[in-house]
Amino acid sequence: MSPELTIPHPFEKEGSVLVEQAVLSLLRTFRQTSTTAPEAGGVLLGFRRGPHLHVTAATTPQPCDRQSRYSFARSEKLHQRLAHEHWHRFDHTGDYLGEWHTHPETKPAPSGIDISEWRRICVERPAHMLFLILGNSSSLWLGCGFGNDVKGRTIDLNC
């Protein structure tokens, strides 16, 4: 089992982004390791603690999501309901932190569609948002967005 992932917050000098090991383990189960596996995705849930973002949970593909080899479109209603349950479970402190999905590539990178969608989310929400793309081996792309700006990088998890 690999440890949690911690990186410096790209927009907050004193902040960090922490993704719990349990979340990473859950997301790994959706890697596109076969040539027919569809993209998967969901939302990232957790806590905003001052300049820090702490991912403690994630939703997984739901029955109404649209999945294909090279795209994932999540059902707004089901994931929103799960995020709302998270918010209630933690006395209205748990929050929607961002989005995750898979790509069928070794070193994942956001597509133009990804960046456009993330910018739309960031403009609608006046908070730093996280975006994670899990590749089909040991790498992921983790980024943060605010306003019209999205900053991120590929990280090798050596798993």
* List of E strands, 21-89: 41-49, 52-58, 66-68, 71-73
Report percent pLDDT > 70 for the chain. 98
> How far is it, in rounded angstroms, from Cα 102 to Cα 70?
9
Contact 45/60 with Cβ under 8 angstroms? Answer: no
Does the pLDDT value for residue 154 go beyond 70?
Answer: yes
d(CA 101, CA 111): 12
Active site residues: 39
Nearest of 74, 61, 24, 70 to residue 46 by alpha carbon: 24
Is 0.85 topped by the overall pTM?
Answer: yes
Alpha-carbon gap, residue 34 to 43, rounded angstroms:
23
pLDDT (average), residues 78-91: 80
Location of structure tokens 């973002």:
53
The half-sphere exposure of 146 on its side-chain side, counting CA atoms within 13 A, is: 7
pLDDT in tens, 114-144: 999 999 999 999 899 999 999 999 899 999 9
CB atoms closer than 10 angstroms to residue 75? 14
Nearest partner of 108 among 138, 74, 130, 128, judged by Cα: 138
CA–CA distances in Å: residue 72 to residues 22, 38, 77, 140? 22, 8, 15, 17
Check whether domain 5-156 has CATH 3.40.140.10, yes or no: yes
